Structure 1
Amino acid sequence: MKVEKLFDMQRQLNDRIISEHRLEGQDLLAEQILALEVELGELANETRCFKYWSNKPPADRHIILEEYVDGLHFILSLGIVLKFENVEIQTIHFEGSLVQTFQRVYDLITKLHEQKTYESFTGLFDLYLFLGKNLGFTHQEIEQAYYDKNEVNHQRQDEGY
């Protein structure tokens, strides 16, 4: 995965949004963390992994992937704001169900919000990548979906989203 390219693309989108919405000098960390938590919830909702009461299947794979990369946009934004862009991806394995993996990602978001350390950021980043793998996505699929959604996000800015 070309993490440097993802960070560069995200920085360009962030800079555009900040400029066009006149947000220069504002601390948006709390908003970005909440946005990531919301996106993670939307992803969990599409997987339906926690809906033990329902027989309805998960959303189509492409919808789950799009929700996944929405969260990746905010993780990259957090890395930019906190100046943790020089990450080396660590292949990790988390023992637990999909539900437990989602819960652990939430825990790590909270940890990052409280500590704002490189270790808490990379732990979150690595577990989020593991979540993507656990959902059945390759790094190549994630990367391409990120490129596609980044383009959509720029188009939305063009349209006054």
Structure 2
Amino acid sequence: MNFKQMFQMQKELDERIRNEHKLMNVNLIDEKILAFQVELGELANETRCFKYWSLKQASPKEVILEEYVDGIHFLLSIGIDLQTVDISVEDQENEGNLTKQFSMIYEQSSQLARTKVKKEFIELFQQYWFLGTLLNFTSTEIEAAYIGKNEVNHQRQNQGY
């Protein structure tokens, strides 16, 4: 996984957004963490893993991957703000409970909102990456989807999003 390239792409998008929206000297970490949490909720909703009352199936894999990558965008952006761009992920067994993993990530993101320390960010990033493993995404799929969504985000900025 080429995290260095992804962080660089995110940095370029972030700088563009900050310039175009006149936010160069504004600390946006709280907004980014909340945005990440919102994206996490949207992802959980698409997986339907917690909807014990419903027989409806999860959304197609492509939809879930797009929602997952939205979260990656905000995590990369948070990492840039925390000056934590040299990151690696550990391989983990693909065993776990999606609902518990979502809850753990919510908890960790709330902890990061309170502390804003690198250690908490790294743990959050690793747990989110593990969530991708639980969702059966490969590194190649995640990277390709991130690159594609980054392009979409630039196009949205072109259109005054």
Contact kept, 8 Å, 1:92 with 1:127, in 2: the verdict is no
- Whole-Å Cα distance in 1 between the matches of residues 122 and 21 of structure 2? 29
- TM-score, with length taken from structure 2: 0.96
Name the residue aligned to 1:125.
125
In 2, Cα distance between equivalents of 1:32 and 1:116: 12
Q: Alignment partner of 2:25: what SS?
A: coil
Distance (Å, rounded) in 1 between the aligned partners of 2:134 and 2:37: 19
Other-structure match for 2:114? 114
1:39-54 alignment runs, 5 A limit? 39-54=39-54
Bigger shift: residues 116-125 or 150-159: 116-125
Q: Is 94-103 or 39-48 further displaced after alignment?
A: 94-103
* Structure 2: tracts of 5 or more residues without a match: none
Give a deviation string over 1:74-96, Cα, whole Å, max 9, x none: 00000000111111222245864
Q: How does 1:73-152 map to 2 (within 5 A)?
A: 73-93=73-93, 96-152=96-152
Q: Distance between the aligned counterparts of 2:52 and 2:97, measured in 1?
A: 13
Identity of aligned residues (%): 50
RMSD of aligned alpha carbons: 1.2
SS state at 2:124 partner: helix
Unaligned runs of 5+ in 1: none
Amino acid at match of 2:149: K
Find the counterpart in structure 2 of residue 63 from structure 1.
Answer: 63
Structure 1 residue runs of 4 or more that deviate by more than 4 Å after TM superposition? none
